[in-house]
Amino acid sequence: MLKINEIFLSIQGEGLYMGRPTVFVRLTGCNLRCRWCDTEYAFEEGEDMTKENVLTRIENYGIKEVCITGGEPMLQDEVIGLMFRLIDRGYHIVLETNGSIGLEDVPAEENVSIAMDIKCPSSGMADRMLFSNIELLGPGDFLKFVIVDEEDYEYAMDILDTYQPECEAVFTPVGGADLKWLAEKIIEDGARDIRVLPQLHKIIWGIERSR
């Protein structure tokens, strides 16, 4: 069984797959409490569902792009079994994870992409990161940094310099829309393999719940 907060069809609003129609499977529960969290309703709310029930709901949308998110999906062991079933049925999966739980069991398959947060100081959760996860990420994955201010920016740069990830890095301003200062800072610092991206769903629908 999985505890599911919601399943819905929307547009991927973040990261390398931004803009793709995607079925979102939001799992209940999170082990972090970021100051700027926009999905606090997923901490507790949800219903128990079998993996087959979840798969049926996904298949009804007729979309082969699935984002498994939360909360923190890696808190529920059964999420790995769900991912393998989705792989067997030809889905592309984006696993959104907060970076604080080991990712060793995530299927190392071409159609699985890990979107891993690195929590910056403004979140209040920077000390909860499991940096060994970075070694597990490859070219199809990406690190996401939500940036509030110069302190967050410098922290993010230090992490990239220290760990030299093989995957791409995405910098997103908190709230998702105020890109100018962050883009100008990246340009000022010289060319780097960093994408500065908004949160597309917030531009489209504002700060409404989840979509």
Domain with 33 in it: 2-205
Report d(CA 130, CA 99) in Å as an integer.
6
Distance CA 197, CA 63 (A): 24
Inside any domain, residue 210 = no
pLDDT single digits (tens) 83-112: 999 999 999 999 999 999 999 999 999 999
Does residue 211 form part of some domain? no
Report residue 205's pLDDT band, with 50, 70 and 90 as the boundaries: confident
Q: Are 119 and 32 in contact (CB under 8 A)?
A: yes
The answer as to whether 96 is a domain residue is yes
Q: What is the CATH number of the domain that holds 178?
A: 3.20.20.70
Domain assignment present for residue 133? The answer is yes
Instruction: Give the H or E element holding residue 56.
Output: helix 51-59
Give the percent of the chain with pLDDT over 70: 96
Burial class (CB in 10 A: 0-12, 13-18, 19+), 51: middle
Q: Does residue 190 lie within any of the structural domains?
A: yes
Q: Is residue 42 part of a domain?
A: yes
Report pLDDT digits (tens) over 170-190: 999 987 667 899 999 999 988
Is 196 inside any structural domain?
A: yes
Q: What is the distance between the alpha carbons of residues 206 and 102, in angstroms, rounded to a whole number?
A: 33
Whether 47 is covered by a domain: the verdict is: yes
- Residue 106 burial (C-beta neighbours within 10 Å; 0-12, 13-18, 19+): buried
When divided into structural domains, the chain yields a total of: 1
